[in-house]
Amino acid sequence: MNILIYFEERNGSIRKPSFEAIEAATKLGASSIAAVVASASSASVLNEQAKRAGIAKIFTVDDARFGEYSSKAAAKVIAEAAKAFNADVVIIAATSRGKDLAPRVAVRLAAGYVPDVTNFSVNGSTIHATHPVYAGKANVTMEVTTAVKVFSTRPNLWKAPKELSTNEASVEALSLNLDESDFSDRTKELMLSQGKLDVAEADIIVTGGRGLKGPENWGLIENLATSLGAATGASRAVVDAGWRPHSEQVGQTGKTVSPTLYVAIAVSGAIQHLAGMSSSKTIVAINKDANAPIFAVCDYGIVGDAFEVLPQLTEAINNVRRH
């Protein structure tokens, strides 16, 4: 089985979820894995990073117009690489960019597509791909019935190989005829919030709810997040009240997250919120209402006043992490 992985670049580096796709490809039983990079950044730098375990071949495209990312043009490059490699499967990490690209690539290859896959099971040549639906309230297991199959894989669930492979991957520059209409969407600017971890990617998340009473108390959440090296998240009530931006909202109409550690502070645990975080590895809840639904899904809970507990917990975690 030939598997092609899209390597997504940001600021000259290949992003971690793309490397995680290598493990997913290995699990699918790939006999040969190739990667495709669609970027104007120095091909040699990217290729150096791309030489990870198992990658036999790297497809690149030499076109200065990729200095401004275009979803349409990138989809065309990936589809052409898939054809050149005779790929049976294309895997694209389900990042913001990947969720946009994968359906396009599937249409270009007349392939069936399963989004945001959290688990694969393989039986002979049959692949079953599981993806969460209803924001995680249920899972659907699907089979792609076309010859070529496209999957996007949810970040944080597979391990990126640590070792760089000593084997040289062969590099093939694709020759494509891209015209101006292929670049009809152009990314002009990436505006990052400085120094802030994004809930969608964070390994640890500390989320605050309305029980914090007001935005003036958010410092308690930020202090705990800093001690844990965590991103801050917010419940819907907090976002709707205007204390925090919606980009931090966790839940059914916010982001679905699966960090290693999820700490919910003064969050009651409405079903929409639980849907967005219930696949987290370890869940901690702190709430003064012993009957809050969040306690039913947590691994560790503290029934108590967040204003009392948080400063102590921040201190205790600092102590543990210092040792």
Partner 1 sequence: MKIIVCVSHVPDTTTKVNVAADGKNIDPAGVKFILNPYDEFAVEEALRLKEKYSGEVIAVSVGSDASKEAIRQALAMGADKGILIKADKSDTFAVAELLANTLKTQGADLILLGKQSIDFDGMEIAPMLAELLDMPAATVVVSLQIEGSTAIAEKEVEGGKEKIALSMPCIISAQKGLNDPRYPSLPNIMKAKQKPIEEIAATASAPRTSVIKMDKPEKKRIGKILQVDGNANAVAQQLAQLLHEEAKVI
Q: 3-class DSSP state for residue 172?
A: strand
Decide: 33 and 22 in contact? Cβ < 8 Å: yes
Q: Which residue stretch of 83-91, 170-178, 207-215, 304-312 sits at the interface with partner 1 (rule: CB under 8 A)?
A: 304-312
Nearer to partner 1 by Cβ, of 13 and 146: the residue is 146
Those residues with Cβ within 8 angstroms of residue 38's Cβ, 6 or more apart along the chain or in another chain: 6, 61, 66, 73, 74, 77, 78
Among 161, 204, 222, 293, binds partner 1 (CB under 8 A): 204
Does residue 213 touch partner 1 according to CB under 8 A?
A: no
Q: What is the phi/psi pair of residue 82, to 5°?
A: -60, -40
Name residues contacting partner 1, limited to 87-116 (CB under 8 A): 95-97, 99-104, 106-108, 110-116
Does residue 159 touch partner 1 according to CB under 8 A?
A: no
Does residue 198 touch partner 1 according to CB under 8 A?
A: yes
Does residue 160 touch partner 1 according to CB under 8 A?
A: no
Among 141, 159, 213, 289, binds partner 1 (CB under 8 A): 141
CB of 301 to partner 1, least distance (A): 4
Does residue 145 touch partner 1 according to CB under 8 A?
A: yes
How far is CA 304 from each of CA 291, 301, 307, rounded to the nearest angstrom?
A: 12, 9, 9
Among 65, 72, 83, 210, binds partner 1 (CB under 8 A): 72
Among 46, 74, 75, 257, binds partner 1 (CB under 8 A): 75
Decide: 260 and 281 in contact? Cβ < 8 Å: yes
Does residue 39 touch partner 1 according to CB under 8 A?
A: no
Does residue 140 touch partner 1 according to CB under 8 A?
A: yes
Spatial CA neighbour of 283 closest among 292, 291, 274: 274
Among 177, 192, 291, 322, binds partner 1 (CB under 8 A): 192
Give the single-character DSSP code of 88. Answer: S
Nearer to partner 1 by Cβ, of 168 and 305: the residue is 305
Task: Determine the distance from the C-alpha atom of residue 140 to the mean position of all C-alpha atoms in its chain, rounded to a whole number.
Answer: 19
Task: Read off the tokens for 209.
Answer: 């709810």
Decide: 221 and 234 in contact? Cβ < 8 Å: no
